[in-house]
Amino acid sequence: CAEQGIPEDILSRIAQADIRSVYDLEDLLGIQASEMRPQPKILGYSSTKPASCKPRPISVEIPRYKVDPSSAGFFLWPSCVEVDRCSGCCNTKTYKCIPSLTQFKSFQIAKLTYRYGRKELSVHTVTVQEHISCNCTELPKRHIMRYNIRYYRQSTNN
pLDDT per residue rounded down to tens, the chain (158 residues) = 556 677 888 878 887 788 777 788 888 888 887 766 556 555 556 667 788 999 999 999 999 888 888 877 888 999 999 999 999 999 888 899 999 999 999 999 999 988 888 888 899 999 999 999 999 998 887 633 344 444 444 444 54
Q: How far apart are CA 76 and CA 68, in angstroms?
A: 10
Inside any domain, residue 156: no
Measure Cα distances from 49 to 21, 133, 135 in Å.
Answer: 7, 20, 18
Inside any domain, residue 43: no
Tell me the whole-structure pTM to 2 decimals: 0.67
Domain span at residue 61 reads 48-138
The DSSP output letter for 147 is: S
CATH number of the domain at 55, please. Answer: 2.10.90.10
Inside any domain, residue 148: no
- Identify the helix (H) or strand (E) that includes residue 11: helix 8-16
Number of domains in the chain: 1
Query: What pLDDT score was predicted for residue 47?
Result: 66
> Under the phi-then-psi rule, with left for phi > 0, alpha for psi from -120 to 50, and beta for the rest, what region is 34?
alpha
Inside any domain, residue 65: yes
Inside any domain, residue 147: no
